[in-house]
C-alpha cells in the first residue's frame, strides 16, 4: 500500500484526508496547528512532529495550504530529502507563475509536480465530489489519478505546468461575476413583486440557468439548501474569493486581457472584505453589492 504524505489539515485538507483514510490508504499528516492533527488521529492518521519527517518513504505528497508563499516554503524545506520520482501534488490555489516556478524546482530535483487546485468547497471535500483542475505531465497525472478519484468526482489534465491554476482563475472569475448577476436578478424580481421561489423555478430551467442558481442560490428559503439558509456561514468565504480574484487580476494584467466584469467583481469583493465581512460565504456578495 502506498504511503501518502498530506500537508495542510484545515477545513479542506482534513476532509480530503478522511476520504483517503476511509479507503485504507496510509496517510502521514502534518499541520502547524496541532489541534488539526489530533482530530484525525482517531480515524487512522499517522502524525510527524517535524515537517521533514513526512518526506521519508512516501510516494506521493499532497499539499493544501493558504497561499503560494507557504507552498514554496514547505517545498523548499523538504525537497532535498525526497527520493527521486516522488510526486508532489499541490491542491492549494496559487498564482500561475508561482506554480510554474514550483514545477521547475521539482523537475531540477527529478521529482514530479502537479498543480491541482480544486472546486467544490468544504462540501465537495467532505462528500468526495471535488473537481481537480490539473497542470503537469501526463505520467504524473496518471500516477495521481486513483487518489483524485477517491477525493473527487472529476479531474482533468488541463495542460502543462500552471494550467491547473490558470483554469481555476478563469473558473472563479466566472463564478464571482455570475453570483453577482444572480443577486441582481433576484433583487429586480423582488422589486417587481415576483414570488422568488417561482422565479427560481423559471431561472433554474431557462437560459439563465447556472450553478450559482441551481446549486447555490443566494436567497434564503429559495431553491436547495445553501449558505444563504445558514446566515451565510461558509462554504467558500469571501476572503478566499478575493484571493482567487486577485490571482485572476494578476493574470489579466500580465496577458493584457479585457475583463471589465472580472475586475469589477474583484472591486466588489474587496469592498466587502474591507467592511469586515470576508468571513461570510462569498454568495453574501449579493447582499453587499450595492
- The pTM of the full predicted model, rounded to 2 decimals, is 0.93
Q: Are 93 and 64 in contact (CB under 8 A)?
A: no
**Half-sphere CA count of 142, side-chain side, radius 13 A:** 3
Q: What is the pLDDT of residues 56-84, one digit of tens each?
A: 789 999 999 999 999 999 999 999 999 99
In whole angstroms, give the CA distance from residue 117 to residue 264: 24
Q: What is the pLDDT of residues 265-283, one digit of tens each?
A: 999 999 999 999 999 999 9
Is pLDDT of 261 > 60?
Answer: yes
Of the listed ranges 181-185, 231-235, 280-284, the least confidently predicted one is 231-235
- Domain segments of the chain: what residues? 3-159, 166-288
**Half-sphere CA count of 289, side-chain side, radius 13 A:** 25
Compute the radius of gyration of the chain from its Cα atoms. 20
Across the chain, the runs of DSSP E, i.e. the strands, are 3-7, 26-30, 46-47, 60-63, 87-90, 112-115, 118-119, 130-135, 152-159
In whole angstroms, give the CA distance from residue 259 to residue 13: 32
Active site residues: 168
Is pLDDT of 49 > 90?
Answer: no
Give the confidence band of 55 by pLDDT, cuts at 50, 70, 90: confident
The mean pLDDT value for 150-166 works out to: 97
Q: What is the pLDDT of residues 188-203, one digit of tens each?
A: 999 999 999 999 999 9
Give the confidence band of 104 by pLDDT, cuts at 50, 70, 90: very high
Q: Which CATH number does 166-288 carry? A: 1.10.1040.10
Give the confidence band of 290 by pLDDT, cuts at 50, 70, 90: low
Q: What architecture does CATH give domain 3-159?
A: 3-Layer(aba) Sandwich (3.40)
Q: Are 164 and 68 in contact (CB under 8 A)?
A: no
In whole angstroms, give the CA distance from residue 186 to residue 223: 12
Is pLDDT of 1 > 80?
Answer: no
User: Percentage of the chain surpassing pLDDT 70?
Assistant: 99
Q: Are 120 and 129 in contact (CB under 8 A)?
A: yes
In whole angstroms, give the CA distance from residue 84 to residue 59: 10
Amino acid at each position: 500500500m502506498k504511503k501518502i504524505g498530506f500537508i495542510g489539515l484545515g477545513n479542506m485538507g482534513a476532509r480530503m484526508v478522511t476520504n483517503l483514510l476511509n479507503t485504507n490508504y496510509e496517510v502521514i499528516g502534518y499541520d502547524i496547528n496541532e489541534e488539526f492533527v489530533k482530530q484525525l488521529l482517531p480515524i487512522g492518521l499517522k502524525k510527524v512532529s517535524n515537517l521533514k519527517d513526512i518526506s521519508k518513504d512516501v510516494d506521493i505528497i499532497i499539499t493544501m495550504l493558504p497561499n503560494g508563499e507557504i507552498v514554496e516554503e514547505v517545498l523548499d524545506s523538504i525537497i532535498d530529502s525526497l527520493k527521486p520520482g516522488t510526486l508532489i501534488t499541490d491542491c492549494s490555489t496559487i498564482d500561475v507563475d508561482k506554480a510554474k516556478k514550483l514545477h521547475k524546482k521539482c523537475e531540477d530535483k527529478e521529482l514530479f509536480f502537479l498543480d491541482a487546485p480544486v472546486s467544490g468547497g468544504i462540501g465537495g471535500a467532505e462528500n468526495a465530489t471535488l473537481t481537480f483542475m490539473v497542470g503537469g505531465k501526463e505520467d504524473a497525472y496518471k500516477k495521481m489519478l486513483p487518489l483524485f478519484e477517491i477525493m473527487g468526482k472529476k479531474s482533468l489534465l488541463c495542460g502543462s505546468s500552471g494550467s491547473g491554476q490558470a483554469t481555476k482563475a478563469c473558473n472563479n472569475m466566472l463564478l464571482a461575476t455570475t453570483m453577482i448577476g444572480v443577486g441582481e436578478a433576484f433583487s429586480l424580481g423582488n422589486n417587481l413583486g415576483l414570488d422568488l421561489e417561482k422565479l427560481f423555478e423559471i431561472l433554474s430551467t431557462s437560459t439563465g440557468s447556472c450553478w450559482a442558481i441551481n446549486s447555490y442560490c443566494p436567497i434564503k428559503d429559495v431553491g436547495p439548501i445553501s449558505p444563504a439558509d445558514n446566515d451565510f456561514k461558509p462554504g467558500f468565504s469571501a476572503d478566499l474569493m478575493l484571493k482567487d480574484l486577485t490571482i485572476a487580476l494578476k493574470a489579466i494584467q500580465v496577458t493584457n486581457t479585457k475583463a471589465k466584469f472580472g475586475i469589477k467583481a474583484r472591486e466588489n469583493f474587496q469592498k466587502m472584505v474591507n467592511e469586515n465581512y470576508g468571513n461570510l460565504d462569498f454568495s453574501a456578495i449579493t447582499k453587499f453589492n450595492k
